[in-house]
Amino acid sequence: MVTGGAGFLGSHVVSRLRSRGCKKIFAPRSREFDLVTIEGIKQAMSEGCPDIIIHLAARVGGIGANRANPGTFFYDNIMMGTQLMEEARLEGVEKVVVAGTICAYPKHTPVPFKEDALWDGHPEETNAPYGLAKKMLLVQSQAYRQQYGFNSIYLLPVNLYGPGDNFDPETSHGIPAIIKKCLDAIDEGKNEIVAWGTGKATREFLFVDDCAEAIILAAEQYNSSEPVNIGAGFEISIKDLVELIAKKTGYRGSVKWDTSKPDGQPRRSLDTSRATEAFGFTAKTPFEVGLEKTIEWYKSERSRRGHNVGQRGTATRFLT
């Protein structure tokens, strides 16, 4: 069972599972199974009868959505994850793979982030409720392994990007938001776009296909509750990112930085050595190559379906 299996990351995971010969894959959809409720989880477990669960479903969004909905982001994510793991334990599921979040790290974690630093401080304020809700699943995983011998693993994917991403300006993350702004400005003949913050913050980005491969490798080979970073092992400033996307999209106008908006966490870059040592994962897609694939996908979808392609139409969304 892949929760969130119809979403951005989940659809890539499901596709790779099928390519590996998995024939019985159940991806519960949020319109049929409300995984925030125990009733919805029980219904999904009854219908899917899973041996292995890959839990990717989440209530997610960018900085703006996190600031506007901290209670929702906390409640929905903690209820989905903790109740699902408990029900999996009760039903004798063989293994649960949990996708945590890089937002669980303390605000001023030394770069590169090492998994041992997870508890060295409080997460960055704008997404702390979301980050802490997801981090509780690590606590649960370790507690259940200690008390019940339950096999669950906890992965920490860095910021993802790629074809099929969310381009809704209300909820999207950095890369799709900037791509859309640049292409909208070109189409509308505007010579200025607005970006949040100062541009000084740094981020690390992982191509979605690479992340899907990491999750499957971990599901196949990793059996410890020690958390594992999933990333590409580099960082880029938001300013450099915006300039690169402008170049790749053909936008030649100026960028106005709205410094009244937050930068978020000052720096993000992961130490990915544990993933390499534990299950042989190393990111394969060069950043500019992945960026070009993402831009070309979005351009194609815009031509086919209009400028609102990839938009979810709500202030927050589930990755399902």
Give the span between the Cα atoms of 152 and 144, in whole angstroms. Answer: 8
Give the span between the Cα atoms of 240 and 292, in whole angstroms. Answer: 16
> Is 130 labeled as catalytic in the residue annotation?
yes
Structure tokens at 7: 């979403």
Which residue in 75, 105, 130, 222 is the catalytic one?
130
Q: Which long-range contacts (CB under 8 A, 24 or more apart) does 103-108 make?
A: 103/127, 103/128, 103/130, 103/131, 103/134, 103/265, 104/131, 104/132, 104/134, 104/135, 104/138, 104/156, 105/131, 105/156, 105/265, 105/268, 107/265, 107/266, 108/266
The residues, any chain, with a CB within 8 Å of residue 11's CB and separated by 6 or more, are: 5, 164
For the annotated catalytic residues, the residue numbers are: 130
